[in-house]
Amino acid sequence: MTPPDRTSGRDASGRESGVVVAAYGRRYRVERERGDEIDCVTRGKKSDVACGDRVRFALTDARGGVIEKIESRTTLFYRSDARRQKLIAANVTQVAIVIAVRPAWNPDLVNRCLVAAEHGGIAAVMVLNKTDLPEAAVTSASLDLYRKLGYSVLPLSAKSDVTPLVAHLSANRSVLVGQSGMGKSTIINALVPHAAARVAEISSALGTGRHTTTHAELYHLDSADLIDSPGLQEFGLHHLTAEEAALAFREFRPFLGQCRFRDCRHLAEPGCAIAAAATQGHIAESRLASYRRLAQELAAKPAHWELRSAS
């Protein structure tokens, strides 16, 4: 490995290092070690670069560069469907899942975000937004099953005060995820007052026109990094096996390996320890149903399926 030049930020090959702070298709904004940002592309038609990646790039001119290497990652948060994978954020320590009192939130999507975090070795916290609405108490009570599983649930009214979230972000690089309409943009604008101006500036530089959070962007807070991501409508996990999915449901773990059949998929097999645990109240029926929908989806994927990066 070529040692870097600590004074210039370049290695012996003339490549610089930096962090990807915005990802727009195959175009990226990279924060250089000296603090400014530069537009970069990748070679070829496909890219495995994620927001938050540390990369090495070669300058093509004073304003642009080509990413030539992705440094080793500590974590990667991503989703995948029948056609491709979609990278969301790299090198994050925490996933903050935003749900709201209104509109209704999708438990399957939340569960899949938690599964992706568990599988990736990333901590997760749930943010309950719009708690100023009258239905807040009912929605909060519906999250008790997650509290019992050890997930923190932070009540929040982003339009008036985001202070409860700040302490959970401190000393972390977090990625903010959630369905459209949950108030994620309101949270970002409250935490990062210059976010709208930064988005407009990047969109102008990349020639993308008006931008409405279609790709991930990284912001520096006082003691943390925060990656904003596009609103989610679905969260595929085709890169997992059913066994990996079951292991990522943390309440399943004490019962795994106790089924009558070693290859039990916990769907409708006799002697299933997971199903028995649900009947006895140790596992929420809603979580088991969510797992089963995921397991059936994974069972239906083609045998030759393999990951292909989003281009």
What confidence category does residue 9 fall into, taking pLDDT thresholds of 50, 70 and 90?
Answer: low
Range of the domain at 283: 242-299
What confidence category does residue 304 fall into, taking pLDDT thresholds of 50, 70 and 90?
Answer: low
What confidence category does residue 84 fall into, taking pLDDT thresholds of 50, 70 and 90?
Answer: confident
User: For 82-102, what is the mean pLDDT?
Assistant: 94
Q: Are residues 164 and 145 in the same domain?
A: yes
Q: Are residues 108 and 221 in the same domain?
A: yes
Query: Does residue 38 fall inside a structural domain?
Result: yes
Query: Does residue 305 fall inside a structural domain?
Result: no
| Predicted local confidence at residue 308, as pLDDT | 53
| Predicted local confidence at residue 7, as pLDDT | 43
Query: Does residue 236 fall inside a structural domain?
Result: no
What confidence category does residue 193 fall into, taking pLDDT thresholds of 50, 70 and 90?
Answer: confident
Q: Are residues 56 and 80 in the same domain?
A: no
Angle CA 182–184–186, to nearest 5: 105
More confident residue, 11 or 279: 279
Q: Are residues 246 and 213 in the same domain?
A: no
Burial of 108 (0-12, 13-18, 19+ CB in 10 A): middle
Q: Are residues 141 and 192 in the same domain?
A: yes
Query: Does residue 22 fall inside a structural domain?
Result: yes
CB-CB neighbours of 64 under 10 Å:
13
pTM: 0.89
Amino acid letter, residue 139 = T
Q: Are residues 201 and 103 in the same domain?
A: yes
Q: For residue 190, is pLDDT > 50?
A: yes
Q: Are residues 214 and 254 in the same domain?
A: no
Domain CATH number, residue 59: 2.40.50.140
